[in-house]
Amino acid sequence: MHQDAHASPLARLVDHVSGVLRGKREEVTLAVVGLAAEGHVLLEDVPGTGKTTLARALARSIDVRFSRIQFTSDLLPADVLGFSAPSPTDGRFVFRPGPIFGNIVLADELNRSTPRTQSALLECMNERRASVDGEVHALPRPFLVVATQNPLEFEGTYPLPESQLDRFLLRIRLGYPSRATERDVLRSRLAGDPLETLQPVLGEADLLAEIDAARAVHVEDLLLDYALDLIEATRTSGRFLLGASPRAGIGWMRAAQALARLEGRDHVLPDDVKRLAVPVLAHRVVATPRMDLGGDADDGGAEARLIELLEEVPVPA
């Protein structure tokens, strides 16, 4: 795999992961942006499109602790957070941390677990700590949850409500690959799973340095006002029943800083803000249903409405 020695560490990470998840460079870039912005990522698509592969490839490319939680209807909060158990030596209760105490945590099929267990995970995501038996335990840094869910509401699933979707910085939809890419994937997998030989290209200290550097990227006041204009439009344009929250705006700007850092810049551009609008905002807003000429509901979805706003709101020079 060819990598530019002069590229930023985050760009090299994108190159590395894209070698495994072929044809999905933009989606890989968004996942790395989420990591550098210290936000959490929701991967949503039908089974078999590479959601788990993306999370595992990201974890294998960074020398940090990875854990996976397979969410099922009988999963309990203690299975996620951990529990206290008596020590075999002196009988005192000792906390045994659960899989949430990883640096990159894959929450697979999150919408298959009950709301109670979902809430336990989402509280950790928001607070970056876990409360077990009245004691608070800090989670490690860096800490990224990559959750996957099937967008189809099959029996036995519990779709995340808007208040919980708002905890995710980015929602990424992978989609099916092109025919040429899928043929390439089929050919490459005949020799084995490339994940098995994937080696880290970033260490924990490297990643923390990139996170801190991203926070220092400059954002002009004009760009803050541009983002606020778009957020206000989601609340007042009539296109949405539920507009974007203040948390969405904060996350949006942090993601823009991370994207600028990934691309080797010390300042955010208007294109960074526009590029991230749909993946940061679409899952946090609820579109107002429309009626077509036949009187049936014609809902282009939140993504289509956001694209309309991006075309209407003036971009700062």
In the predicted model, is pLDDT for residue 298 greater than 50?
no
**Amino acid 93: pLDDT:** 80
Domain boundary among 207, 225, 257: 207
Does the residue 1 lie in any domain? no
Do 196 and 252 share a domain, yes or no? no
Does the residue 169 lie in any domain? yes
pLDDT tens, 237-257? Answer: 999 999 999 999 999 999 999
Calpha distance 59→104 (Å, rounded): 6
Number of domains the chain contains = 2
pLDDT tens, 208-236? Answer: 999 999 999 999 999 999 999 999 999 99
Do 164 and 16 share a domain, yes or no? yes
Write out the residue range of the structural domain in which residue 194 sits.
9-207
Question: Nearest Cα to 12, choosing from 195, 262, 211?
Answer: 262
Q: What is the CATH number of the domain that holds 169?
A: 3.40.50.300
Domain boundary among 144, 176, 207: 207
Q: What is the CATH number of the domain that holds 242?
A: 1.10.8.80
Domain boundary among 161, 178, 207: 207
Model pTM? 0.88
Do 110 and 150 share a domain, yes or no? yes
Question: Nearest Cα to 280, choosing from 170, 183, 172, 196?
Answer: 170
